[in-house]
Amino acid sequence: MSESYGQLQGTISLSNESLLEEPRPSGTADTGPYRSYPYYHPVMAGVTTSMDAFGVLGATVLCAHVEPTILMENWHVALPLADLMSALGFLMIPKKRSLLYIPDILQVSAQVRYLARPLVIGALLHFIVLYMLHRPTAQAIELSLVWIGICAATLAVLRGGEILILHHPSVTRHLARNIAVIGSDEVALKVAARVTEEAGPTYRMVGVFDDHDTALDPTVTDGTLDDLIVRSRESRLHAIILAIPPSSDPVDHVAEISWRLRSVLSDVYVMPNLVHGIDVLLPIERLGPFALLVLQRRPLSDWQIVRKTMLDVVAGAIALALLTPLMCMIAIAIKATSPGPVFFRQPRLGYNNRNFMVFKFRTMHANMSDMMAAKQTSRDDPRVTRIGKWLRKLSLDELPQLLNVLRGEMSLVGPRPHAPHTRADGMLLDDALAEYVIRHQVKPGITGWAQVNGARGELVTLDDLRRRVEYDLEYMQKWSLRFDLKILALTVLREVFSKHAF
């Protein structure tokens, strides 16, 4: 499809040329940032600024050991104060955030522009402090040059190593943003052609998908909207652009497509001036030359996902280490009271609607286990063993899911995962409630906001399912590390001895 996009670029005419043919700034080279569609990667920017901070602080400590060797006298107060002020100056001076955009962060010239100003200001503060403390001017200048030289050398090594790593093909592929376009008329094909031709390694065009209402020629698309949904579950999809033509009911048309994409883990945008009536209510974001309206965002940003993962790994590893003796005793009790394996493994629907195998302590007789959860566990269920009854009541059967957390399949806190055949009121969950699939946009959890509010146990009616999903969606909207810690604390206080567990 990439070749067809390029061939189409020079032949398709649009009714709104000002939107899709924005002129490039004069003097901008084809290989410059404009052509590469720069974007802000919060995790990469956070890592880079953290490296800068540690680098400058480390270089300043090194200066504190080097500077006294060039002095004729001991400056116990002046030098530490000057070093401290220069380091704080570097850290606190506002920097041009756009120079941390990908691919600008790969360019040496851009990084020199990013670091030069705070380094120079830090050196000036170093000199000013020494001068105000009535130190000789020549030595104050020399010491300030020592500070800026060591800091610059340290940052050059750090940034140079970072640039080498970012140029590695595997890293470049990971940082590239995957984009899909919905629509099959000239507007969609033109957008796909420009991104394919101009974006370079920054963005990767997945394809153009037909929404069934704007088909120009089925042979130029990569599939239907359903095909796009399936593909989004197999590989990461960062952005979907609705490049549909104006229609008699544009708001309804966009709303219908947006609703069908509710389970897709991706940001969703729509081209302005192609639909009317909703643009005044939506935020605007740029993608290279395109100004797009934001219809849908992923519930957690890249940086929030990193923070949540760090909590899962650290707290999960600590919890597993502390609870290992208890888990060993539970395993012995299970083997001693009923034949069969210690663990029960069951497929569950998880992050981005992908299946994974969840680990639990076996609480049922081995010959009565229900692998696909065709029948939910009920109170006084005859399939549950004697030890299993207490494990369920104390929620101890869930402890092996710490292994799922460390494997990256689950989180400590999140919507509880269900088996594929779980039903409510006789219907599969995603058929029973349309909003149910949205909860798969975050990792499932060992515990969750619904569980600590009593929405747990058997799903009998649609109201049971609706109440649980409402809590799950509220959790996704309000997520923070503090919220996760609160839920973990409430789990211990409320759910270990919950009356709803059986």
Degrees (nearest 5) of the Cα angle 155, 57, 77? 130
Nearest to 261 by CA among 345, 370, 182, 172: 182
Do 479 and 343 share a structural domain? yes
Do 316 and 457 have their domain in common?
yes
Q: What six digits make up the tokens of 10?
A: 């020079």
pLDDT of residue 363: 87
Tell me the C-alpha distance between 430 and 422, whole Å.
Answer: 10
Last residue of a domain, one of 261, 296, 331: 296
379/426 same-domain check: yes
Per-residue pLDDT, 375: 61
Domain count, the chain: 3
Residue 460 confidence (pLDDT): 78
Question: For residue range 88-117, what is the model confidence (pLDDT) as tens digits?
Answer: 999 998 888 888 898 888 888 899 999 999
Burial per residue of 463-472, b for 16 or more beta-carbon CB atoms within 10 angstroms, e otherwise: ebbebbbbbb
What is the pLDDT averaged over residues 113-125?
94
Residue 37 inside a domain? The answer is: no
Look at residue 277 in the predicted model and tell me its pLDDT. 58
Q: 210 and 82, same structural domain? A: no
Same domain? For 350 and 246 the reply is: no
pLDDT, greater one: 166 or 64: 166
Q: What is the pLDDT of residue 38?
A: 85
pLDDT score for 74: 55
Binned at pLDDT 50, 70 and 90, residue 431 comes out as confident
pLDDT digits (tens, 9 = 90+) for 248-280: 566 778 888 888 898 899 999 988 765 565 555
Q: Does residue 73 form part of some domain?
A: yes
332 and 467, same domain (yes or no): yes
Q: pLDDT (tens digit, 9 = 90+) per residue, 193-215?
A: 888 888 888 889 999 998 765 55
Q: Mean pLDDT over all residues of the chain?
A: 83
For residue 164, give every residue at least 6 positions away whose Cβ sits within 8 Å of its Cβ, in sequence order, or none: none
Name 406's Cβ contacts closer than 8 Å, sequence gap at least 6. Answer: 312, 313, 316, 317, 320
Query: How far apart are alpha carbons 233 and 237 in whole angstroms?
Result: 8
pLDDT beyond 90 at 159: yes
Please say which residue of 296, 326, 343 terminates a domain.
296
CA dihedral over 353, 356, 360, 366, signed as positive or negative: positive
**What local confidence, expressed as pLDDT, does residue 11 receive?**
38
Looking at per-residue pLDDT, the higher value among 314 and 25 belongs to 314
Question: Does residue 502 belong to any structural domain of this protein?
Answer: no
pLDDT in tens, 476-490: 999 999 999 999 999
pLDDT band at residue 27, thresholds of 50, 70 and 90? very low
Residues 480 and 336 in one domain: yes
User: What's the confidence (pLDDT) of residue 487?
Assistant: 95
Q: How many CB atoms lie within 10 A of CB 166?
A: 17
How does pLDDT run across 229-254, given as a tens digit for each residue? 999 988 889 999 998 876 656 677 88
Q: Which residues of 279-307 are buried (b: 16+ CB within 10 A; e: fewer)?
A: eeeeeeeebbbbebbebbebbbeeebbeb
Q: Residue 13 pLDDT more than 50?
A: no
Quick one: 165 and 181 in the same domain? no
User: Are residues 315 and 279 located together in one domain of the fold?
Assistant: no
Q: Please check the confidence at residue 16 and state whether its pLDDT lies above 60.
A: no
pLDDT(292) > 80: yes
Question: Is residue 500 in a domain?
Answer: no
Confidence tier at 458 by pLDDT (50, 70, 90): confident
Give the C-alpha distances (Å, rounded to integers) separating 198 from 12, 37, 286. Answer: 17, 8, 15
Of the ranges 45-49, 159-163, 281-285, 362-366, which one carries the lowest mean pLDDT score? 281-285
Whichever domain contains 24, its CATH number is: 3.40.50.720
Same domain, 334 and 381: yes
Q: What pLDDT is recorded for position 377?
A: 63
Residue 325 covered by a domain = yes
Range(s) of the domain holding residue 273: 2-28+176-296
Q: Residue 23 domain-assigned?
A: yes
Domain contains 151: yes
- Dump pLDDT digits (tens) for 72-86: 555 667 788 888 999
**Count of Cβ atoms closer than 10 Å to residue 270 Cβ:** 24
| Same domain flag for 205 and 281 | yes
Average pLDDT of span 149-165:
93
Say whether pLDDT at 427 is over 60: yes
Residue 457 lies in a domain: yes
452 in Cβ contact with 483 (< 8 Å): no
Whether residue 140 sits in one domain with residue 267: no
Among 296, 316, 348, the domain boundary falls at 296
The CA–CA distances, whole Å, from 395 to 171, 242, 290, 357 equal: 41, 45, 51, 19
Distance CA 444, CA 431 (A): 19
**pLDDT tens per residue, range 293-352:** 888 899 998 889 999 999 999 999 999 999 999 999 999 999 998 888 999 998 998 999
Distance CA 189, CA 218 (A): 12
Q: Please, which pLDDT band fits residue 156 given cuts at 50, 70 and 90?
A: very high
The confidence score (pLDDT) of residue 449 equals: 95
